[in-house]
């Protein structure tokens, strides 16, 4: 199973796919840019499991996050 790791000595401590120097944000950018699993596998040698690990890691960061509206100055004065 692919793991996401943080090592201060690699890529300035950004989360990377274990055994690579490929960061989570790079893979998310590839997907956002329209690359498929197959495109990423062919170009960067990553497995589908590694790509899914990136998605799971990103999802875990926002899991349970609450969003609250910040009042505008006009709403505060009213």
Looking up residue 55, the CATH number of its domain turns out to be 1.10.10.10
**What's the number of domains the chain is made of?**
1
pLDDT above 90 coverage of the chain, percent: 76
How far is it, in rounded angstroms, from Cα 36 to Cα 11? 24
Predicted confidence (pLDDT) at residue 51 exceeds the cutoff of 70: yes
Predicted confidence (pLDDT) at residue 44 exceeds the cutoff of 70: yes
3 state DSSP class of 68: coil
What predicted TM-score, i.e. pTM, was given to this entire model? Answer: 0.80
How far is it, in rounded angstroms, from Cα 14 to Cα 36? 23
Domain limits for position 31: 4-77
Name the pLDDT band for 20 (thresholds 50, 70, 90): very high
Q: Is the separation of the CB atoms in 23 and 14 below 8 Å? A: yes
């Amino acid at each position: 199973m692919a793991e996401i790791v943080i090592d201060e000595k690699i890529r300035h401590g950004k989360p990377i796919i274990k055994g690579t120097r490929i960061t989570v944000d790079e893979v998310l950018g590839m997907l956002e840019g329209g690359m498929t699993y197959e495109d990423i596998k062919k170009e960067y040698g990553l497995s589908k499991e590694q790509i899914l690990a990136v998605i799971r890691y990103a999802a875990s960061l926002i899991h349970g996050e609450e969003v609250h509206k910040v009042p505008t100055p006009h709403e505060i004065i009213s």
